[in-house]
């Protein structure tokens, strides 16, 4: 159940960060509210995962996956360009998260 809640935290954080750009420095009400609510959900769900997943593991998955998803959303919907070094870096992040989850004993709960 911890990883399912972590997935919700990651998705909420990606939504919050994506709408933060649209809030234009918190000058637009609706995107600002969505950002705030999404971050509240993200941090609440992240805190719940820490009951069953070690802090370092949960945070590594949350931040690493969030980086890749936010960059992908920015590329798909906000016109961000991703060059080969950026794509390679994101592939390394994904690889690191997978290695941690598949091979590391510290990821066991």
The Cα 79–Cα 99 span in angstroms is 31
Backbone dihedral region for residue 108 (phi beyond 0: left; psi -120 to 50: alpha; all else: beta): beta
Which three-class secondary structure state does DSSP give residue 78?
coil
Helix (H) or strand (E) holding 14: helix 2-22
The Cα 10–Cα 20 span in angstroms is 15
Question: What tens-digit pLDDT sequence spans the chain (109 residues)?
Answer: 889 999 999 999 999 999 999 999 999 999 999 999 999 999 999 999 999 998 988 988 999 999 999 999 999 998 999 999 999 999 999 998 888 878 877 765 5
The pTM of the full predicted model, rounded to 2 decimals, is: 0.85
């Amino acid at each position: 159940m911890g990883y399912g809640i972590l997935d919700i935290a990651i998705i909420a954080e990606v939504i919050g960060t994506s709408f933060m750009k649209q809030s234009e420095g918190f000058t637009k009400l609706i995107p600002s509210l969505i950002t705030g609510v999404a971050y509240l959900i993200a941090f609440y769900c992240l805190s719940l995962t820490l009951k069953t997943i070690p802090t370092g593991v949960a945070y590594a998955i949350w931040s690493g996956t969030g980086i890749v998803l936010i960059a992908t959303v920015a590329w798909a919907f906000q016109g961000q360009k991703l060059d080969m070094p950026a794509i390679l870096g994101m592939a390394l992040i994904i690889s690191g998260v997978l290695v941690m989850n598949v091979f590391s004993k510290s990821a066991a709960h």
